[in-house]
């Protein structure tokens, strides 16, 4: 567009060559011209410049001057492009090239046209005629310098500018990772396949998620903790076609990879549905090993819209359904039901193959528990439990008749096996109806003398409903097993008993299926001295009492037959403080001795501002503590070893003056609130509380009369 330069008139316009009409318009040149006057002058000058000049030869020089003058007065100046881009950027990520800061000296409106000059073609995620388009950096671009160019035009003049983007590989990866914020280099990126629904079987594959096809996808930043960048998949409103979003191995269609090393592992991922569309909630997972080699369709059940759910599909189950792990082509593929796909919208994240802890049973040390060898040996409060087995699986359907009902199914070993340092693994299908209850799953282990220990129960609500779940448990890790029976010999296990417990539920939980059960024997020494250390003192179950130090906390607590203390609810305010004391049956010298205990923190207390600590009381009621454990520092359920070895005066962060370590009369647990809290159902446990007397000097000193002020700015003072 022409730009009017009024200031040039005085220097370029000769009064003798202008018409008197134009000169009269400039008689007040020294006065300020308002916008209307300027517009009128511009219009008259423009009309004069466009009027043909005289044709006589004598006016040739005048015409040349007029042309130069008008060109200078109304000529166009080209725009000034300015391009910005983030570099480097990761392969399989999105970039934005921004020319919005470009300018034009004449203030003309600008248009933009983008193109890629060199490098692996990036996929345009927006139109290319905008100031700031987005591109998806496709597979194969890592290690390249992609060159882009923008043409900026003001309608008359066009100026180009180039910008380079360096592409790197995805860095947010771990072993087996497929996608976590970006697609791992071992995979080909997201793509889709679809087939027309007209009987022709015409089908096609595409890698551009920004399309007019059925399956559309992009990578979005949700800015949610634990998720951030996710794969967002949306199905168009079409019923004439069906399709799948999928992720191939690095070589793409027809290329395979050997995933046999994950045979005892699983495929794990998180997924949430944003819109059921026509799917009515039916979604599936299917993997392929070059069609027609493929897995079965595995149903993915969702409780609600917009809620992330975690799925773990055992590799053994995939293999049994027909999938060849050694020839994996499509490593991830989830989709709504066939012919019910229109308008479905969902997101996936944290996709990874997870290696199992047990080796593949190749005839070596691993022992397979054959389904035909399982038996139902105990059913309390259960109406005629139905069970069956075949070559692959053991199936059982309990029918609860009371809220404390339980059913047990087990396996004998002849000869006995050494499970000291071994492990137990199995795949269990858990019905959704059981996940929706407060039911429990547990394991008992018996030695040849029928001494037993048990696994701390696992809530059925922690399993994926209507899905296969893998359980893999080390034996006998005291953070997960109640090992209070000191006569139990873990190297002489004769029987494993698996339990399903109603725990308050009175309805039928549905059908459970167990398969791929294996044990891996250990090589630990077992228990050469049943009963444990002959000097060991186990706290008495009936010797606990509580005492409020400050405030008025409401804490529901209980004690097991073995003396373990369990806190079932915690309601209090910042500053509340309560002690739980177990008075020993004798005075004990703990100088150079040992105090053993284990703290088990449940999921719903992790991160809460509560401090727990052990303490000792001497025969005169004097108090000493090694310091507290700040539960706020833990992000998830945790078990901690609270053992104190070779106890001496320096063990304690605080001790009353004159505290006598050689005359211990009581041991206890202290609960301190550092925030207002109302947890009405939990299971905070302190168990395996034992003391082993020492042989240190009598009354080693007067203690350490240092007062410890607990503060969450000083976490070292809170940790044991």
pLDDT tens track for 334-373: 999 999 999 999 999 999 998 875 444 433 467 888 888 8
Segment 531-543 mean pLDDT: 69
Cβ atoms of 655 and 701 within 8 Å: the answer is no
Measure the CA–CA gap between 411 and 419, rounded to whole angstroms: 14
**Contact yes or no for 707/671 (Cβ under 8 A):** no
Widest CA span of the chain, in angstroms? 133
Confidence of residue 402 (pLDDT cuts 50, 70, 90): confident
The three-point CA angle 293-296-302 to 5° equals 145
Q: Given phi > 0 = left and psi -120 to 50 = alpha, else beta, which region is 333?
A: beta
Q: Output the six-digit token pair for 275.
A: 């819109």
Residue 401: is its pLDDT beyond 70?
A: yes
Q: What is the rounded CA–CA span in Å between residue 385 and residue 408? A: 10
The owner of tokens 């882009």 is 148
- Mean confidence (pLDDT) of the chain: 80
Taking only the tens place, the pLDDT of each residue in 576-618 is 998 999 888 889 898 888 888 888 888 888 888 899 889 999 9
Are the C-beta atoms of residues 537 and 694 closer than 8 Å to each other? no
CB 662 within 8 A of CB 613: no
Return the closest-CA partner of residue 22 out of 73, 89, 83. Answer: 73
Going by pLDDT thresholds of 50, 70 and 90, the confidence category of residue 428 is: confident
Count the residues in the chain. Answer: 720
Handedness of CA 21, 25, 28, 29 (dihedral sign): negative
Per-state percent for the chain, helix, strand, coil, to nearest 5 = 10, 40, 50
- Phi, psi dihedrals of residue 633, rounded to the nearest 5°: -85, -5
Compute the Cα dihedral for 627, 630, 633, 634 and give only its sign. positive
How do residues 172-229 score in pLDDT, each as one tens digit?
678 899 998 888 888 988 999 999 998 898 999 998 888 889 999 988 888 888 888 8
- What's the alpha-carbon Rg for the chain, to the nearest Å? 38
Whether residue 526 contacts residue 490, with contact meaning beta carbons closer than 8 Å, is answered with yes
> Count H helices, E strands: the chain?
6, 46
Mean pLDDT to the nearest integer, 458-477: 82
**62 band by pLDDT with thresholds 50, 70 and 90:** low
Mean pLDDT throughout 44-48?
65
Question: What is the rounded distance in angstroms from the CA atom of residue 222 to the CA atom of residue 341?
Answer: 24
**pLDDT at position 102:** 94
Contact indicator for 36, 81 with CB cutoff of 8 Å: no
* Domains along the sequence of the chain with CATH: 84-168 (2.60.40.10), 177-354 (2.60.120.430), 367-520 (2.60.120.260), 544-692 (2.60.120.430)
Q: How far, CA to CA in Å, does 384 sit from each of 199, 396, 692, 703? A: 50, 11, 48, 63
Specify the pLDDT at position 381.
65
Q: What b/e sequence results for 403-420 when a residue is b if at least 16 CB atoms lie within 10 Å of its CB, and e otherwise? A: eebbbbbbbebeebbbbb
Q: What residue has token string 């087939």?
A: 195
Exposure of 76 in the CB half-sphere (CA atoms within 13 A): 14
Q: What is the DSSP letter of 716?
A: G
- What whole-number distance in Å separates Cα of residue 713 and Cα of residue 79? 57
DSSP letters, 509-568, are: ---EEEEEEEEE-------SSTTS-TT-EEPPTT-EEEEEEES--EEEEEE-TTS-EEEE
- Separation CA 437–CA 441 (nearest Å): 12
Specify the pLDDT at position 487.
78
Distance CA 511, CA 10 (A): 97
Average pLDDT, stretch 536-558?
A: 85
**Three-state DSSP class for residue 404:** coil
Residue 466, both tokens: 């209507």
242: β partners: 195
Look at residue 707 and tell me whether its pLDDT is greater than 50: no
pLDDT band at 331 (very low <50, low <70, confident <90, very high): very high
Q: Which of 16-25, 92-101, 133-142, 356-365 has the lowest mean pLDDT?
A: 16-25
| pLDDT top residue among 253 and 534 | 253
Give the residue, 323 or 366, on which the prediction is more confident: 323
What's residue 60's pLDDT?
Answer: 59
- Calculate the CA dihedral of residues 6, 11, 16, 22 and round it to 10 degrees: 10
Highest mean pLDDT among 311-315, 399-403, 579-583, 635-639: 579-583
User: Is this structure's pTM higher than 0.75?
Assistant: no
Task: Compute the distance between CA of residue 464 and CA of residue 602 in angstroms, rounded to an integer.
Answer: 19
């Amino acid at each position: 567009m022409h730009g009017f330069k009024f200031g040039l008139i005085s220097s370029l316009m000769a009064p003798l060559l202008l018409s008197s009409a134009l000169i009269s318009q400039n008689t007040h040149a020294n006065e300020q011209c308002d916008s209307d006057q300027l517009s009128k002058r511009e219009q008259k000058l423009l009309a004069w410049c466009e009027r043909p000049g005289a044709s006589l030869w004598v006016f040739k020089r005048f015409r040349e001057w007029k042309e130069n003058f008008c060109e200078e007065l109304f000529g166009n100046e080209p725009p000034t492009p300015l391009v910005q881009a983030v570099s480097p950027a990761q392969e399989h990520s999105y970039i934005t090239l921004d020319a919005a800061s470009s300018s034009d000296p004449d203030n003309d409106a600008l248009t933009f046209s983008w193109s890629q000059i060199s490098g692996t073609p990036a996929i345009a995620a927006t139109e290319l005629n905008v100031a700031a388009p987005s591109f998806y950096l496709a597979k194969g671009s890592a290690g390249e310098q992609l060159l882009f160019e923008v043409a900026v035009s003001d309608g008359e003049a066009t100026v180009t500018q180039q910008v380079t983007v360096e592409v790197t590989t995805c860095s947010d990866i771990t072993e087996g990772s497929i996608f976590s914020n970006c697609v791992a280099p071992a995979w080909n990126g997201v793509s889709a396949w679809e087939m027309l629904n007209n009987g022709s079987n015409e089908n096609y594959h595409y890698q551009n998620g920004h399309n007019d096809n059925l399956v559309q996808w992009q990578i979005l930043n949700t800015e949610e903790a634990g998720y951030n960048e996710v794969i967002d998949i949306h199905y168009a409103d079409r019923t004439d076609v069906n399709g799948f979003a999928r992720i191939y191995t690095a070589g793409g269609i027809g290329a395979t990879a050997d995933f046999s090393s994950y045979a005892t592992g699983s495929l794990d991922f998180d997924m949430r549905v944003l819109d059921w569309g026509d799917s009515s909630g039916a979604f599936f997972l299917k993997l392929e090993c070059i069609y027609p080699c493929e897995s079965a369709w595995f149903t993915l059940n969702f409780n609600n819209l917009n809620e992330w759910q975690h799925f773990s599909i055992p590799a053994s189950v995939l293999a049994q359904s027909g999938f060849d792990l050694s020839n994996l082509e499509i490593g991830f593929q989830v989709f709504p039901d066939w012919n019910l796909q229109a308008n479905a919208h969902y997101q996936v994240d944290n996709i990874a193959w997870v290696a199992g802890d047990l080796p593949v049973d190749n005839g070596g040390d691993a022992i397979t528990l054959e389904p035909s060898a399982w038996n139902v040996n105990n059913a309390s409060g259960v109406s005629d439990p139905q069970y069956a087995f075949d070559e692959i699986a053991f199936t059982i359907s309990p029918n609860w008749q009371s809220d404390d009902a339980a059913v047990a199914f087990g396996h004998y070993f002849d000869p006995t096996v050494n499970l000291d340092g071994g492990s137990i693994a199995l795949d269990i299908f858990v019905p959704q109806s059981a996940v929706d209850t407060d039911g429990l799953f547990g394991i008992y282990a018996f030695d040849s003398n029928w001494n037993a220990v048990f696994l701390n129960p696992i809530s059925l609500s922690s399993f994926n409903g209507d899905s296969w779940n893998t359980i893999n448990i080390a034996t006998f890790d005291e953070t997960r097993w109640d090992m209070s029976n000191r006569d139990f010999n873990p190297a002489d296990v004769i029987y494993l008993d698996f339990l399903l417990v109603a725990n308050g539920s009175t309805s039928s939980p549905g059908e459970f299926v167990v398969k791929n059960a294996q044990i891996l024997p250990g090589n630990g020494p077992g228990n050469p001295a049943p009963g444990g250390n002959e000097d060991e003192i186990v706290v008495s179950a009936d010797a606990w009492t509580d005492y409020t130090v400050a405030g008025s906390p409401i804490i529901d607590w209980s004690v097991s037959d073995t003396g373990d203390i369990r806190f079932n609810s915690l309601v209090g305010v910042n500053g509340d403080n309560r002690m739980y004391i177990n008075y020993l049956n004798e005075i004990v010298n703990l100088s150079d001795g040992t105090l053993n205990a284990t703290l088990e923190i449940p999921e719903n207390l992790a991160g809460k501002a509560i401090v727990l600590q052990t303490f000792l009381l001497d025969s005169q009621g004097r108090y000493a503590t090694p310091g507290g454990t700040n539960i706020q520092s833990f992000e998830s359920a945790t078990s901690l070893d609270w053992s104190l070895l070779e106890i001496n005066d320096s063990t304690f962060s605080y001790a009353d003056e004159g505290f006598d370590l050689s005359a211990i009369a009581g041991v206890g647990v202290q609960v301190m609130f550092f925030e207002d809290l109302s947890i009405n159902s939990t299971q905070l446990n302190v168990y395996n509380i034992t003391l082993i007397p020492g042989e240190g000097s009598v009354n080693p000193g007067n203690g350490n009369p240092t007062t410890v002020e607990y503060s969450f700015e000083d976490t070292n003072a809170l940790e044991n």
